Structure 1
Amino acid sequence: MMLSPAGKLFRFQVLGLCITLALGSSSTRVYAEDGIQFNTDILDVNDRKNIDLSQFSRSGYIMPGSYSMVVHINKNELPEQKISFYPPDNDPDGSRACITKALVEQLGLKQEMMRSLSWWHQGECLDESSLKGMESRGDLATAAIYLSVPQAYMEYSSEDWDPPSRWDEGIPGLLFDYNLNAQSRHQQKEGTREYSVSGNGTAGANLGAWRLRADWQGQLNHQTGVGQPTDKKLDWSRYYAYRAIPALRSRLTLGEDYLDSGIFESFRFSGASLVSDDNMLPPNLRGYAPEVVGVAKTNAKVTISQQGRVIYETQVAAGPFRIQDINDAISGELDVRVEEQDGSIQAFKMNTASIPYLTRPGSWRFKLAAGKPSDWQHHSRGPLFGTGEFSWGISNGWSLYGGALAGGDYNALSLGVGRDLMMFGALSFDATQSRARLPQQEKTLSGGSYRVSYSKTFDELDSQVTFAGYRFSEEDYMSMSEYLDARYYGNRVGNNKEMYTITFNKQFRDWGLSTYLNYNHQTYWDRPANDRYSLTASRYFDIGDFKNLSLSLSAYRNRYNETNDDGMYLSLSMPWGNGATLSYNTTVNRNDNTHRVGYYNRVDEHNNYQVSAGSARSGANLNGYYNHEGDVARLSANASYQAGRYSAVGLSAQGGMTVTQEGGALHRSTVMGGTRLLLDTNGVAGVPVRGYGSTVSTNRFGKAVVADVNSYYRNKASIDLNKLGDNAEATRSVVQATLTEGAIGYRKFDVIAGEKAMAIVKLADGSTPPFGATVLNARKQETGIVNDGGSVYLSGINAGETMTVHWNGAAQCQIQLPSSLPTDMLMRTLLLPCRPLAPAE
Structure 2
Amino acid sequence: MGLSPVGKVARLQSLGLCISLALGTPLAMAQTADNIQFNTDVLDVNDQNNIDLSQFSRGGYIMPGTYGMTVHVNKNKLPEQQILFYAPEDDPKGSRACVSKALVEQLGLKEDVMKGLTWRHQGECLDEGSVHGMEVRGDLSTSSLYMRIPQAYLEYSDESWDPPSRWEEGIPGLLLDYNVNANSQYQQRDSSKGYSVSGNGTAGANLGSWRLRADWQANFSHQTAGEQQTRKQLEWSRYYAYRAFPSLRSKLMLGENELDSGMFDNFRFTGASLVSDDNMLPPNLRGYAPEVVGVAKTNAKIVISQLGRVLYETTVAAGPFHIQDINDAVTGELNVRVEEQDGSVQEFVLNTASIPYLTRPGSVRFKLTAGRPSNWQHHAQGPLFGTGEFSWGVSNGWSLYGGALAGGDYNALSLGIGRDLLMFGALSFDATQSRASLSQEDGTLSGGSYRLSYSKRFDEYDSQVTFAGYRFSDRNFMSMGEYLDARYYGNRMNGSGKQQYTITFNQQFREWGLSSYINYSHETYWDLPANDRYSLTLSRYFDIGRFRNLSLSLSAYRNNYNGIKDDGAYLSLSMPWGDKATVSFSEAVSRNDTTHAVSYYDRLDDRRSYQLSTGSSRSGVRASGFYNHEGGLAQMSANASYQEGSYSAAGLSLQGGMTLTPEGGAVHRSGTAGGTRLLIDTQGVADVPVRGYGSTTNTNAWGKAVLGDVSSYYRNRANIDLNQLGDTAEATQSVVEVTLTEGAIGYRKFDVIAGAKAMAVIRLADGSEPPFGATVTNVRKQETGIVNDGGNVYLTGINAGESMTVHWSGSAQCEVRMPTPLPADMLMNTLLLPCRALSAQPQATEGSVLTAKEQKG
What's the CA shift string for 1:174-229, capped at 9, x where partnerless?
21111110000011121111110001111111222211111111110111244645
- Residue 851 of structure 2 aligns with which residue? none
1:293 aligns to 2:301 (yes or no) = no
Does the 8 Å contact 1:296/1:319 carry over to 2? Answer: yes
User: 2:774 is matched by which residue type in structure 1?
Assistant: A
- Calculate the TM-score normalised by the size of structure 2: 0.95
Give 3-state SS (helix, strand or coil) of 2:37's partner.
Answer: coil
Output the amino acid matched with 1:408.
Answer: G
Matches within 5 A, 1:472-511: 472-492=472-492, 493-511=494-512
Alignment of 1:3-22 (within 5 A): 4-5=4-5, 8-9=8-9, 11-22=11-22
1:743 aligns with 2:749: no
For residues 578-617 of structure 1, the aligned pairs below 5 Å read: 578-617=579-618
For 1:537 and 1:4, how far apart are their aligned partners in 2? 64
1:369 aligns with 2:369: yes
Structure 1 residues 440 and 304 mapped into 2: Cα distance closer, same or farther (>3 Å)?
A: farther
What corresponds to 1:129 in structure 2?
129
Q: Is 1:816 aligned with 2:817?
A: yes
What SS does the aligned partner of 1:247 have?
Answer: helix
Q: For residue 158 of structure 1, give the secondary structure of its aligned residue in structure 2.
A: coil
| Overall identity of the aligned pairs, in % | 73
Question: Tell me, what secondary structure is at the counterpart of 1:526?
Answer: coil
Indicate the SS of the match to 2:486: helix
Instruction: State the SS of the aligned residue for 1:122.
Output: coil
Aligned counterpart, 2:527? 526
Question: Secondary structure at 2:732's aligned position in 1?
Answer: strand
**CA offset digits 1:331-366 (Å, max 9, x no partner):** 111111110000011111121111100011111111
**Greater than 6 Å deviation, 4+ residue runs:** none
Cα RMSD (Å) of the superposition?
A: 2.0
Aligned pair in 2 of structure 1 residues 438, 548: CA closer, same or farther (>3 Å)?
same
Q: Does 1:435 align with 2:435?
A: yes
- 2:849 aligned residue: none
Per-residue deviation, 1:728 = 2.8
Q: Which residue of 2 aligns with 1:181?
A: 181
How far the C-alpha of 1:819 sits from its partner, in A, is 2.1
Is 1:302 equivalent to 2:306 in the alignment? no
What corresponds to 1:319 in structure 2? 319
Equivalent residues in 2 for 1:521-600 (5 A)?
A: 521-600=522-601
Distance in 2 separating the partners of 1:824 and 1:591: 68
Contact 2:30 2:37 in 1 (8 A): no
- The unaligned stretches of length 5 or more in structure 1 are none
Query: Which residue identity is paired with 1:806?
Result: H
- 1:89-113 Cα deviation digits (max 9, x unpaired): 1233332211101101101111222
Partner of 2:845: none
Matches within 5 A, 1:695-710: 695-710=696-711
1:36-79 Cα deviation digits (max 9, x unpaired): 33454554445444433222222222222222211111111111
Moved more, 473-482 or 124-133: 124-133
Q: Which residue of 2 aligns with 1:649?
A: 650
Distance 1:29 1:219, change over 3 A: farther
Is the CA contact 1:259–1:267 (under 8 Å) kept in the aligned structure 2?
yes
Give the corresponding residue for 1:166: 166
Using the TM superposition, give the Cα deviation of residue 811 of structure 1 relative to its aligned residue in structure 2, in angstroms.
2.4
Aligned-partner residue type, residue 221 of structure 1: S
Separation in structure 2 between the aligned mates of residue 19 and residue 109 of structure 1, nearest angstrom? 38
Distance in 2 (CA, whole Å) between partners of 1:46 and 1:551 is 73
Q: What's the CA shift string for 1:507-545, capped at 9, x where partnerless?
A: 111211111111111111111111111111111122211
* More deviation, 783-792/610-619: 783-792
- Residues 636-658 of structure 1 show CA distances to partners (whole Å, capped at 9, x for unaligned) of 00001011111000100111112
Task: Tell me: CA distance 1:516–1:39, structure 2 relative to 1, closer, same or farther (3 Å).
Answer: closer
The match for 1:712 is 713
Cα distance change on mapping 1:545 and 1:284 into 2, 3 Å: same
- Report the Cα offset of residue 702 of structure 1: 2.4
Q: CA deviation at 1:839?
A: 9.9
CA contact (8 A) 1:429 1:451 kept: yes
Three-state SS of the structure 1 residue aligned to 2:710 is coil
How far residue 840 of structure 1 moved from its aligned partner, in angstroms, is 13
Amino acid at match of 1:475: R
Q: Deviations over 1:799-823 (max 9, x none)?
A: 2222222223232332221121113
Counterparts of 1:10 and 1:262 in 2: how far apart (Å)? 67
Report SS of the residue matched to 1:732.
coil
Deviations 1:466-488 (A, max 9, x none): 11111111111111111112112
- Structure 1 contact 682–752 (Cα < 8 Å) conserved: no
For the residues of structure 1 that align with 2:44 and 2:613, how far apart are their CA atoms?
73
Per-residue deviation at 1:713? 1.3
Shift of 1:437: 1.1
Residue 758 of structure 1 aligns to which amino acid in structure 2? M
Structure 2 partner of 1:453: 453
Which letter maps to 2:24?
Answer: G
Asked if 2 retains the 8 angstrom alpha-carbon contact of 1:191 and 1:225, the reply is no
CA distance in 2, matches of 1:449, 1:277: 26
C-alpha distance in 2, partners of 1:442/1:624?
Answer: 57
Q: Which amino acid aligns with 1:668?
A: R
Match for residue 792 of structure 1?
793
Letter in 1 for 2:762: V
Alignment partner, residue 803 of structure 1: 804
> SS of the residue aligned with 1:216?
strand
Kindly indicate whether the alpha-carbon contact (under 8 Å) linking 1:30 and 1:59 is maintained by their aligned counterparts in 2. no
Q: Any conservation in 1 of the 2:29–2:37 contact (CA below 8 Å)?
A: no
1:37 match: 37
1:721 CA displacement = 2.2
Q: Counterpart of 1:731?
A: 732
Residue 762 of structure 1: CA displacement? 2.8
* Alpha carbons 2:29, 2:39 under 8 Å: kept: no
Number of aligned positions between the proteins? 840
**Unpaired segments ≥5 residues, structure 2:** 843-857
Q: Check the 8 A contact 1:718/1:734 in 2, yes or no.
A: yes
The Cα shift of 1:30 comes to: 4.9
Residue 206, structure 1, aligned to residue 206, structure 2 = yes
1:581-616, Cα deviation, whole Å (9 max, x unpaired): 111111111211111111111111111111111111
Distance 2:351 2:15 in 1: 71
For residue 464 of structure 1, report the CA deviation from its aligned partner: 1.1
1 CA distance for matches of 2:192 and 2:689? 46
Mapping of residues 222-261 of structure 1, within 5 Å: 222-226=222-226, 228-261=228-261
| Contact 1:273/1:368 (8 A) holds in 2 | yes
The residue aligned with 1:423 is: 423
Structure 1: distance between partners of 2:715 and 2:7:
47
Match of 2:681 in 1: 680
Equivalents in 1 of 2:5, 2:540: separation in Å?
A: 63
- Deviation of residue 831 (structure 1)? 1.7
Deviates more, 1:356-365 or 1:758-767: 758-767
CA contact (8 A) 2:34 2:93 kept: no
Instruction: Please name the residue that 2:343 is paired with.
Output: 343
Do the aligned residues in 2 keep the contact of 1:265 with 1:332 (CA within 8 Å)?
A: yes
**Partners of 2:398 and 2:693 in 1: how far apart?**
38
Number of the residue aligned with 1:24: 24
The aligned counterpart of 1:754 is 755
DSSP 3-state at the match of 2:103: helix
Moved more, 315-324 or 662-671: 662-671
Structure 1 pair 394–796 and aligned structure 2 pair: CA distance change class (3 A): same
